[in-house]
Amino acid sequence: MTHKPVELNATIIGLYVGTSRAHWPGKPASAIGKQLTETAQYLGLTGFANDEQADLSVHGGTEKAVHHYAADHYPEWRSELGTAAQDFGPGRFGENIATLGLTEADLCIGDVLALGSAIVEISQGRQPCWKLNAHTGVSTMTKLFQETARTGWYYRVLEPGMVRMGDEIRRLDCPNPGWSVERVTRARLNPRLALETAAAMAELPRLAPGWADAFRRKAGREYREDVTARLDGPEGGTP
């Protein structure tokens, strides 16, 4: 079934790739430090050819091939956090794609978009981890990401292609209207989500399997999710 897409266009203002390296003594390596590239990048099924993820058990792969962050949020962070965030701007949170005019409220899980000559589909939001605190120097950054749901979102790649700064992003299909990235991400990060809501979200078409499984677990009356390792890092605490 083809759904008539809601008209939506934006332009890529930043394209970022990076390699994995050790940033913090005693902590795992990370590729969160992406660099701006003005060179066209090939986007394959698992991400940009010149991009890298350090821990493929939690980053990258087909369901998290590309991370897109709304540059619209950066003025809010600078206003809210003051001096600590004055250098915050596109690329600061380890994203691959930055745009203006698209946020988590505008897009839905399963939306199909043209990204340069590639075709991608929104698979899930982002679950922030302790590396955000370490990378930004703001000890509450992960907590604030969760509270605001200003996390960005991930794409799976349906058709590989070339992507560059200045390319237009166009929505081609919206099979799950009403199930915005913001709505689903807030639910995923909510430790007290109503059981019936979790059960409904577990059946959302085109949602990443990992998130669908998580919602199924959250629908269990006795289930309690342990997010300590994600929020605090290995052995607890941030650098």
Which CATH number fits the domain that encloses residue 185? Answer: 2.40.33.20
C-beta separation of 64 from 184 below 8 A = no
Domain of 120?
9-232
Within a domain: residue 89?
A: yes
Within a domain: residue 4?
A: no
pLDDT tens-digit map of 96-153:
999 999 999 999 999 999 999 999 999 999 999 888 999 999 999 999 999 999 999 9
Within a domain: residue 32?
A: yes
Give the number of residues written for the chain. Answer: 239
Domain count, the chain: 1
Within a domain: residue 158?
A: yes
By three-state DSSP, how is residue 50 classified?
coil
Q: What pTM, to 2 d.p., does this model score?
A: 0.91
Within a domain: residue 117?
A: yes
Within a domain: residue 81?
A: yes
Within a domain: residue 3?
A: no
pLDDT tens-digit map of 188-239:
999 889 999 999 999 999 999 999 999 999 999 888 776 676 766 665 443 3
Rounded to a whole number, what is the largest CA-CA distance in the chain?
52
